[in-house]
């Protein structure tokens, strides 16, 4: 069974930094694209970051230059380094896996999410 378990969400002050982790199991992690998607309280879904199986990364305009996605295939883990955090980054952050054999940015499996709150 595919499992994605996010961790690292906490209350942080504006301007602060945070690193989110996603532990993957139940599939061959290195062969799938991975993503972070967020959802602000009471709002819709927003794609944040993507990393391919070969390490190609994309970030949304709203986080580019502040957030960095990475992966450690030996540890079956996905990460999101978040710097210069702003109030508007407050959201539940979901780890989401792509489809088998596809490099497209589509989200076949999702974790349960971790809440990041940015507030003074």
Partner 1 sequence: DIQMTQSPSTLSASVGDRVTITCRASQYISNWLAWYQQRPGQAPKLLIYKASSLESGVPSRFSGSGSGTEFTLTISSLQPDDFATYYCQQYNSYSWAFGQGTKVEIK
Question: Residues with Cβ < 8 Å from 57, sequence gap 6 or more?
Answer: 49, 50, 51, 68, 69, 70
Q: Does 7 bind partner 1 (CB under 8 A)?
A: no
Instruction: Calculate ∠ Cα 45-49-51, nearest 5°.
Output: 135
Report in angstroms how near the CB of residue 112 gets to partner 1 at its nearest: 6
Q: What is the dihedral of CA 12, 70, 1, 27, to 10 degrees?
A: -170
Q: Quick one: which of 8, 110, 115, 117 contacts partner 1 (CB under 8 A)?
A: 110
**HSE of 102 in the Cβ direction (CA atoms, 13 Å)?**
9
- x/- binding map, residues 29-48, to partner 1, per CB under 8 A? --------x------xxxx-
SS3 87: helix
Report in angstroms how near the CB of residue 59 gets to partner 1 at its nearest: 10
- x/- binding map, residues 56-75, to partner 1, per CB under 8 A? --x-xx--------------
Q: Interface with partner 1 by CB under 8 A: which range of 14-22, 23-31, 54-62, 81-89? A: 54-62
Contact positions vs partner 1 (CB under 8 A)? 37, 44-47, 50, 58, 60-61, 94, 99, 104-113
């Amino acid at each position: 069974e595919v499992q994605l378990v996010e961790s690292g969400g906490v209350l942080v002050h504006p301007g602060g930094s945070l690193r989110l982790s996603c532990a993957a199991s139940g599939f061959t992690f290195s062969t799938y694209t991975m993503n972070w998607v967020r959802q602000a309280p009471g709002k819709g879904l927003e794609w944040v970051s993507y990393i391919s199986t070969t390490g190609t990364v994309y970030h949304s305009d709203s986080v580019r230059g502040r957030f960095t996605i990475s992966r450690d295939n030996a540890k079956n883990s996905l990460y999101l380094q978040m710097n210069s955090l702003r109030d508007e980054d407050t959201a539940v952050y979901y780890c989401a896996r792509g489809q088998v054999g596809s490099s497209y940015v589509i989200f076949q499996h999702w974790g349960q999410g971790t809440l990041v709150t940015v507030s003074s």
